Amino acid sequence: MTHRFLWLALAGMLVVAPALAEGSFPEELSPFDQGRLERFDTVRREAIAAARARGKPADVAVLNQVLKGEAASIPPARMAGDWRCRLLKLGGTPPLVVYADFKCRITDDAEGLRLEKITGSQRTSGIFYDIPGRRLGYAGAEAWGNERPLRYGQDMQRDQVGYLVPVSADRMRLELPLPMRESRFDILELRR
């Protein structure tokens, strides 16, 4: 009976343990990507202001809805699963682009929580990192067309870094500063 109790206790600990990647974020990122994160707040503020000032009214309404809500503490197990996701590109030409919904998936594997955008011609794939506060760090890479998913660090031109803001168990946003093309700030909205 004692061995059974010990096994159940250990199994329970595994279920509630965080499922996030280990490592020091952002110290393990390239110096270039550390710089992108250092400019996160300024770039975010400027890109949102430009999008609101010059974007189409319908797109600005979508942006305002996406930006609602502050980071909430959501257990990693509640983040795993299938999501609808849409990309918003801010601060480029045009100043705001809102894409249609695609499919994303968050899985919990040996590396931790992993995001994969599984449909569309621009697909991100990466890992979330536990950081102080309620946001999660993100390091990933973008694949194009029919390419296989890339890992962070394989191609600097495809690397993406940012923060996941879990608003609720049914809504999150991945915020990516200074993408390498088309915009100054990207937001991938995830909805159940």
Q: How many structural domains are present in the chain?
A: 1
Q: The domain that contains 86 carries what CATH number?
A: 2.40.128
Q: Residue 7: helix, strand or coil by DSSP?
A: helix
Residue 10 confidence (pLDDT) = 33
pLDDT tens digits, the chain, 192 residues: what are they? Answer: 444 333 333 333 333 334 455 557 878 899 999 999 999 999 999 999 999 999 999 999 999 999 999 999 998 889 999 999 999 999 999 999 999 999 999 998 777 899 999 999 889 999 999 999 999 999 999 998 888 888 998 999 999 999 999 999 999 999 999 999 889 999 999 999
- Which helix (DSSP H) or strand (DSSP E) does residue 52 occupy? helix 40-54
Q: Is residue 108 part of a domain?
A: yes
Residue 22 confidence (pLDDT) = 55
Partners of 185 in the β-ladder? 90, 177
Residue 2 confidence (pLDDT) = 40
Q: Is residue 126 part of a domain?
A: yes
Q: Is residue 24 part of a domain?
A: no
Q: Is residue 171 part of a domain?
A: yes
Q: Is residue 177 part of a domain?
A: yes
Longest dimension (CA), the chain: 68
State the Cα–Cα distance between residues 72 and 123, nearest whole angstrom.
26
Q: Is residue 11 part of a domain?
A: no
- Which helix (DSSP H) or strand (DSSP E) does residue 14 occupy? helix 2-16
Provide the b/e sequence for 121-153 (b: ≥16 CB within 10 Å): ebbbbbbbbbbeeebbbbbbbbbeeeeebbebe
Q: For the residues of 137-155, what is the DSSP string, one character each?
A: EEEEEEEETTPPPPPTTS-
Q: Is residue 10 part of a domain?
A: no
Residue 15 confidence (pLDDT) = 35
Q: Residue 110: helix, strand or coil by DSSP?
A: coil
Q: Do 115 and 102 meet the contact criterion of CB atoms below 8 Å apart?
A: no
The model carries a pTM of: 0.86
Residue 150 confidence (pLDDT) = 86
State the Cα–Cα distance between residues 128 and 73, nearest whole angstrom.
14
Q: Is residue 87 part of a domain?
A: yes
What's the number of CA atoms in the CB half-sphere (13 Å) around residue 66? 27
Domain residues for the domain of 116 are 31-191
State the Cα–Cα distance between residues 3 and 113, nearest whole angstrom.
31
36 contacts: CB under 8 Å, gap ≥ 6: 161, 177, 178
